[in-house]
């Protein structure tokens, strides 16, 4: 008499609950602009350069001069470790070295603008690729409750990536010499993909064998429109700013999703689940980003300018990122779903930075900021690697070279937490977890090299501060 495999497919729960890399649940991992990287993004009051296009469009019209800015080289090393993830004293780790895309922003000096100002920005809001693998070998009697199964090996492979590019054009207008308002509509193009593969092979002493494979993959392309609205009030020695980032309005979304599983065995007395090979193209895709409200300011204290900012992000209710058709199967399963879900929790991030003049030509920066996780427990996806709250420290230099200014610095981020999610996943597969809880350690090291070109210099009467308070001579 044949019985069903009590293990319920080795690693299938792990596979269908595949983890996502931490950055997709974090909003403040990256900064946009040379000084912004070194100040932790604390530029909501008076950005004092073209990065106002992103941080506070209202300040764009109050900047003494607008220049073309390139964050040309941003190199990032990332490492994630699941302590004892492979057993006592054996950590499950993954690391990666990336060259991040540049941030480009500049003025649009149209003659018909009058007192208004315009600018543009091209930036990579999200961008990462990761590969995580795990291999296990087991030996014993009647493994996973299967009579005669004495040897078992399993391989799990996860590839996951997200890329989101933003392009925006700003318009700002001075309500007075100290108050500016502005808006930057952004067109956001998002690509997201993942591939999960698990292969298990087993054997018995009498020559019996079993091979089980499960594969799941999806790909999403989505286009949406959102906007940043900003108000900036600036006095000679201090400034305040308020910004609102709207939720995204979906314009176009499509994707594809596939699910395959198969089991072949010889000599064992069990019956595996039905074979499935299902691929769906042109699946409707959606994506939603949160509403956020930011407040910040800065104050000049002698040769040092202190910057502070905070931003509140609202919750994104769980929704179907991909809304696929159900997969009919025979037997007790009846129907399998291949939908992909997404959502996020509310959170608050904060930043504090200092910008100090050394002589007439050099600036030194130091900042700290939070980068809390908005990860939420979702159907068919694990937040194992996405729930660590990160803390950043950045420092660097800003100095002139001929007609340009160069920025060199670094940003270090780390986070750790304890989780039971990994043990829960292993328990669902029938495998013994190494311990009830595991610690997740995350580390990022970023090198920033940027240049601000003396192009598009456009000082006019709407500037409320002397250039000496706004830029390096």
Q: How far is CA 365 from CA 36, 103, 173, 351, 431, in A?
A: 10, 19, 30, 13, 50
Start-end of H helices in 73-186: none
pLDDT tens, residue by residue, 38-63: 999 999 999 988 899 999 999 999 98
Neighbours of 263 (CB within 10 A): 19
Element at 93 (helix H, strand E):
strand 92-100
Q: What is the pLDDT of residue 3?
A: 38
Count of H-run helices and E-run strands, the chain: 4, 23
Structure tokens at 103: 């941030």
Where residue 371 falls among pLDDT bands split at 50, 70, 90?
very high
pLDDT tens, residue by residue, 415-424: 877 655 555 5
Structure tokens at 336: 């399998």
Which one-letter DSSP state was computed for residue 373? B
Q: What is the pLDDT of residue 186?
A: 98
Q: What is the pLDDT of residue 148?
A: 80
Q: Report how far residue 398's alpha carbon sits from residue 130's, in angstroms, rounded to the nearest whole number.
A: 32
For residue 66, is pLDDT > 50?
yes
Range name among 144-148, 357-361, 456-460 with the lowest pLDDT average: 456-460
Q: Is 132 left (phi over 0), alpha (psi -120 to 50) or beta?
A: beta
**Which range is most confident: 284-293, 315-324, 446-455?**
284-293
Contact 302, 469 (CB under 8 A): no
* Residues in the chain, total: 473
Structure tokens at 37: 């990287």
Residue that the structure tokens 């808006």 belong to: 183
359 contact partners, CB below 8 Å, separation of at least 6: none
For residue 437, is pLDDT > 70?
no
Q: What is the pLDDT of residue 144?
A: 67
pLDDT tens, residue by residue, 142-199: 776 777 888 888 777 778 888 899 999 999 999 999 999 999 999 999 999 988 788 8
Q: Report how far residue 59's alpha carbon sits from residue 56's, in angstroms, rounded to the nearest whole number.
A: 6
Q: Report how far residue 278's alpha carbon sits from residue 153's, in angstroms, rounded to the nearest whole number.
A: 26
**Which range is most confident: 107-111, 351-355, 431-435?**
351-355
For residue 364, is pLDDT > 50?
yes
For residue 412, is pLDDT > 90?
yes
Instruction: Report, as an integer, the average pLDDT of 367-386.
Output: 70
Structure tokens at 261: 């599983």
Residue that the structure tokens 């069990």 belong to: 270
Q: Report how far residue 286's alpha carbon sits from residue 272's, in angstroms, rounded to the nearest whole number.
A: 35
Contact 51, 43 (CB under 8 A): yes
For residue 345, is pLDDT > 80?
yes
Q: Report how far residue 119's alpha carbon sits from residue 112's, in angstroms, rounded to the nearest whole number.
A: 14
Q: Report how far residue 379's alpha carbon sits from residue 383's, in angstroms, rounded to the nearest whole number.
A: 10
Cβ-based burial of 321 (10 A; exposed 0-12, middle 13-18, buried ≥19): buried
């Amino acid at each position: 008499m044949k019985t069903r495999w009590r293990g319920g497919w080795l690693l299938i729960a792990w596979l269908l609950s595949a983890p996502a890399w931490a950055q997709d649940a974090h909003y403040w991992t990256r900064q946009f602009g040379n000084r912004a990287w070194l100040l932790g993004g604390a530029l909501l009051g008076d950005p004092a350069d073209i990065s106002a296009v992103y941080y506070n469009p209202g300040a764009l019209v109050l900047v003494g001069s607008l220049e073309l800015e390139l964050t040309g080289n941003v190199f990032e090393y990332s490492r994630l470790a699941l302590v004892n993830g492979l057993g006592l004293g054996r950590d499950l780790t993954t690391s990666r070295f990336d060259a991040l895309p540049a941030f480009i922003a500049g003025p649009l000096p149209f003659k018909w603008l009058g007192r208004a100002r315009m600018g543009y920005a091209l930036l990579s809001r999200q961008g990462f690729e990761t590969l995580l693998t795990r291999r296990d070998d087991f030996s014993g009697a009647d493994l996973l409750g299967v009579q005669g199964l004495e040897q078992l090996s399993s391989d799990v492979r996860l590839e996951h990536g997200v890329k989101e590019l933003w392009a925006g054009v700003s318009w700002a207008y001075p309500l007075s010499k100290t108050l500016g308002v502005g808006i930057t509509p952004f067109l956001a193009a998002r690509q997201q993909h993942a591939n999960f593969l698990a292969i298990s092979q087993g054997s018995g002493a009498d020559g019996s064998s079993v091979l089980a494979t499960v594969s799941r993959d999806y790909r999403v392309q989505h286009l949406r429109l959102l906007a940043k609205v900003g108000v900036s009030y600036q006095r000679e020695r201090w400034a305040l700013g308020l910004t609102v980032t709207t939720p995204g309005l979906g314009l176009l979304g499509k994707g594809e999703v596939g699910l395959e599983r198969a089991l072949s065995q010889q000599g064992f007395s069990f019956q595996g689940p039905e074979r499935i090979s299902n691929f769906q193209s042109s699946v409707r895709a959606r994506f939603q980003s949160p509403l956020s409200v930011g407040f910040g300011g800065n104050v000049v204290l002698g040769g040092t300018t202190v910057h502070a900012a905070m931003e509140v992000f609202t919750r994104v209710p769980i929704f179907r990122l991909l809304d696929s058709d159900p997969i009919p199967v025979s037997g007790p399963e009846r129907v399998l779903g291949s939908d992909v879900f997404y959502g996020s929790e509310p959170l608050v991030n904060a930043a504090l930075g200092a910008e100090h003049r050394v002589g007439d030509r050099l600036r030194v920066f130091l900042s700290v900021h939070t980068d809390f996780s908005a990860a939420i427990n979702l159907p068919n996806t694990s937040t194992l690697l996405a729930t660590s709250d990160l803390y950043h420290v950045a420092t660097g230099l800003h100095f002139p070279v001929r007609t340009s200014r160069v920025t060199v610095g670094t940003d270090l981020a780390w986070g750790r937490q304890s989780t039971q999610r990994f043990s829960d996943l292993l328990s669902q597969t029938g495998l013994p977890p190494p311990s009830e809880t595991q610690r997740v350690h995350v580390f990022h090291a970023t090198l920033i090299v940027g240049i601000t070109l003396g192009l598009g210099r456009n000082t006019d009467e709407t500037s409320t501060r002397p250039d000496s308070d706004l830029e390096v001579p």
